[in-house]
């Protein structure tokens, strides 16, 4: 469709060299064809051109002093993408690969993800090209304090809320960021979520994204008369999302047999040792290669030995796959290997983990495919539940929050599934999620005028 292609071409000129961002935009816009073709109002209101341009992009210097007394300088970002549905909301990523393209793709995805939850939240994202690996707690604290010394002036509980939960940002970082926000503003308010349970955090926030991706998978299977019970599952990543996806898979009677980190993959035929992974990644912050010291029967594959066209973690046979590490970690060759190995379901815990070609394979094979913006929305939704508890000075039980999370994931599934059917592609949850998210945001934008 010319309208879509010309928007993408224009974007490549106005925002050069941002390939991850183009990838996210192309994936969404191509699936909007059925709704854009039949409705002049979106074209007339230049909704697509407005959607792909962030409302505001903030880039800033983050200087800090390391333990040796050297001055380090990183680059910080906050992209306030779209506030049609509510205050900007989206987490922070601290990773050396962070740049404007990565933060923009994450912010763009966040608009539709947040819209799908049905909650009143807009889309944003932030981060820095800071590498927390190997840094002491004191260095992490100084970095977080410097980062917040600039960010605090742009955020607020009714303007831009920063939930925890992305690569390199967990409870420790949120603690340091919140402490500095409080010191600078003198306000103790719900501007950050993912807080510690000791001071305003919500039960289930830590588990929410991983649990949510598994609930979403279960709803996809239920709709096909199947369940996770007894299924062997491949999981990638070994961070927050992967760990709690593994935990929930065990609770639902499935067997997760793999996990991975940036240096390699573990495959354990009898099932991943969850307690060991929690110890290695949540406490000692170790590399997965030490897993074999406890389990000599497991297989460890270093990234140096990965297939040239993909990732070792997807080359084992299993009924389901949960990519929970990072973007583009599942290629076309990986998708073909999964399908030949009997994979019936992919539920994306990570953001944009499958390449466009891999997604095309899943859609063509008509397996149950849950795109990240739907399957991993449990984290941001539970952040909203944390804000609701903060605002009403309440603390809900684990069971109460978990029940709400389950219901939100079910609603997201039903919305995406019904929308896919409405647009003549039953079961195509990518199309359903993109159109449903788009429709909510776009209609709100039209009602709010040209702003
Ligand atoms: P963590 O930092 O807790 O864990 C990330 C995991 O992925 C680690 O095991 C890390 O390895 C691995 N990893 C990171 N980069 C690479 C890479 N380039 N190649 C291979 N492995 C890599 O992050 P999260 O678990 O929070 O986030 C994972 C994904 O989930 C991201 O895509 C994020 O955007 C998405 N997400 C997270 C949410 C949340 O609530 N946490 C919410 C929604 C989406 P290592 O241990 O070696 O660093």
Average pLDDT over residues 327-354: 98
The CATH homologous superfamily to which domain 208-370 belongs is NAD(P)-binding Rossmann-like Domain (3.40.50.720)
Q: Which DSSP letter does residue 64 get?
A: E
CATH architecture assigned to 2-188 = 3-Layer(aba) Sandwich (3.40)
CA of 279 to the centre of ligand 1 (A): 17
Q: 220 near 429, Cβ under 8 Å?
A: yes
Residue 416, pLDDT > 60, answer yes
Instruction: Please tell me whether residue 173 adopts helix, strand or coil conformation.
Output: helix
Instruction: Please tell me whether residue 284 adopts helix, strand or coil conformation.
Output: coil
Residue 109 Cβ inside 6 Å of ligand 1? The answer reads: no
Catalytic site includes residue 373: no
Instruction: Please tell me whether residue 338 adopts helix, strand or coil conformation.
Output: helix
* Pocket test residue of 79, 135, 239, 264 for ligand 1, highest count of atoms within 8 A of CB: 239
Ligand 1 nearest-atom number relative to CA 285: 46
Residues with Cβ within 8 Å of 202's Cβ and at least 6 positions away in sequence, in order, are: 193, 382, 383, 385, 386, 389, 395, 396, 401
Residue 378 Cβ inside 6 Å of ligand 1? The answer reads: no
Residue 381 Cβ inside 6 Å of ligand 1? The answer reads: no
| pLDDT range class, residue 296, cuts 50, 70, 90 | very high
Residue 5, pLDDT > 90, answer no
Domains 2-188 and 208-370 share a fold: yes
Ligand 1 nearest-atom number relative to CA 353: 32
- pLDDT for 4: 82
Q: Which DSSP letter does residue 201 get?
A: -
- pLDDT for 38: 82
- pLDDT for 3: 78
Average pLDDT over residues 212-241: 98
Residues with Cβ within 8 Å of 433's Cβ and at least 6 positions away in sequence, in order, are: 112, 116, 371, 373, 374, 412, 415, 416, 419
Average pLDDT over residues 432-450: 98
Q: Which tokens hold the place of 312?
A: 């070792």
- Phi-psi category of 342—alpha, beta or left, where left has phi over 0 and alpha has psi -120 to 50? left
Average pLDDT over residues 274-281: 97
Q: Which tokens hold the place of 393?
A: 């000075």
Q: 284 near 309, Cβ under 8 Å?
A: no
Residue 264 Cβ inside 6 Å of ligand 1? The answer reads: no
CA of 90 to the centre of ligand 1 (A): 15
Average pLDDT over residues 43-64: 97
- pLDDT for 266: 98
What are the angstrom distances between the C-alpha of 26 and each of 8, 11, 21, 211, 395? 7, 11, 9, 29, 41
Residue 379 Cβ inside 6 Å of ligand 1? The answer reads: yes
- pLDDT for 164: 76
- pLDDT for 54: 98
Residue 349 Cβ inside 6 Å of ligand 1? The answer reads: yes
Q: What is the DSSP string of 154-169?
A: G-BTTTEEEE--BTTB
Q: Which of 2-11, 139-148, 225-234, 346-355 has the lowest mean pLDDT?
A: 2-11
Residue 176, pLDDT > 80, answer yes
CA of 372 to the centre of ligand 1 (A): 13
| pLDDT range class, residue 1, cuts 50, 70, 90 | low
Q: Which tokens hold the place of 6?
A: 């010309």
In the chain, the percentage of residues whose pLDDT exceeds 70 is 100
Residue 122 Cβ inside 6 Å of ligand 1? The answer reads: no
User: How many residues make up the chain in this entry?
Assistant: 451
- pLDDT for 165: 76
- Full 3-state SS string of 91-151: CEEECCCCCHHHHHHHHHHHHHHHHHCCCCCCEEEEEECCCCCCCCHHHHHHHHHHHHHHH
Q: Where are the domains of the chain?
A: 2-188, 208-370
Q: From CA 78, how far away is CA 96, in angstroms rounded? A: 16
Residue 391, pLDDT > 90, answer no
* Pocket test residue of 134, 163, 262 for ligand 1, highest count of atoms within 8 A of CB: 262
Q: 300 near 266, Cβ under 8 Å?
A: yes
Average pLDDT over residues 399-417: 97
pTM of the predicted structure, to 2 decimals: 0.97
Average pLDDT over residues 112-129: 96
Q: From CA 380, how far away is CA 24, in angstroms rounded? A: 19
Of the residues 89, 113, 125, 373, only one is catalytic, namely 125
Average pLDDT over residues 311-325: 98
């Amino acid at each position: 469709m010319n309208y879509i292609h010309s928007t993408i071409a224009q974007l490549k000129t106005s925002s050069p060299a941002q390939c991850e961002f183009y990838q996210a935009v192309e994936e969404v816009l191509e699936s909007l064809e059925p709704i854009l073709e039949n409705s002049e109002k979106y074209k007339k209101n230049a909704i697509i051109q407005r959607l792909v341009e962030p409302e505001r992009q903030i880039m800033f210097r983050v200087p800090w002093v390391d333990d040796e007394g050297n001055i380090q300088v990183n680059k910080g970002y906050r992209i306030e993408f779209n506030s049609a549905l509510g205050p900007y909301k989206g987490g922070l990523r601290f990773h050396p690969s962070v740049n404007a393209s990565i933060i923009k793709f994450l912010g763009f995805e966040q608009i539709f993800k947040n819209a799908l939850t049905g909650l009143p939240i807009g889309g944003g994202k932030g981060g820095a090209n800071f590498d927390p690996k190997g840094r002491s707690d004191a260095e992490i604290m100084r970095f977080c304090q410097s980062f917040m010394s600039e960010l605090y002036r742009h955020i607020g509980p009714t303007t831009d809320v920063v939930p925890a939960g992305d690569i390199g940002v967990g409870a420790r970082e949120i603690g340091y960021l919140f402490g500095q926000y409080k010191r600078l503003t003198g306000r103790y308010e719900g501007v950050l979520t993912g807080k510690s349970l000791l001071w305003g955090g919500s039960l289930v926030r830590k588990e929410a994204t991983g649990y949510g991706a598994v609930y979403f998978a279960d709803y996809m299977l239920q709709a096909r008369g199947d369940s996770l019970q007894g299924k062997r599952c491949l999981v990638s990543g070994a961070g927050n999302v992967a760990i709690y996806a593994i935990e929930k898979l065990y609770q639902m009677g499935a067997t997760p047999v793999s996990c991975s980190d940036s240096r390699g993959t573990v495959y354990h035929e009898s099932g991943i040792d969850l307690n060991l992974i929690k110890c290695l990644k949540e406490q000692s912050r170790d590399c997965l290669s030490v897993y074999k010291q406890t389990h000599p029967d497991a297989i460890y594959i270093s990234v140096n030995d990965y297939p040239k066209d993909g990732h070792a973690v997807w080359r084992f046979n299993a009924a389901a796959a949960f990519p929970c590490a990072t973007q583009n970690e599942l290629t076309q060759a990986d998708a073909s290997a999964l399908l030949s190995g009997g994979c019936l379901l992919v539920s994306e815990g990570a953001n944009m983990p499958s390449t466009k070609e891999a997604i095309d394979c899943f859609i063509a094979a008509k397996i149950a495919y849950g795109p990240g913006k739907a399957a991993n929305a449990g984290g941001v939704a539970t952040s909203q539940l944390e804000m609701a508890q903060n605002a009403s000075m309440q603390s809900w039980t684990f069971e109460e929050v978990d029940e709400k999370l389950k219901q939100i994931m079910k609603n997201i599934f039903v919305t995406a599934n019904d929308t896919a059917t409405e647009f003549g592609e039953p079961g195509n949850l990518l199309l359903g999620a993109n159109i449903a998210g788009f429709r909510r945001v776009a209609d709100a934008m039209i009602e709010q005028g040209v702003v």
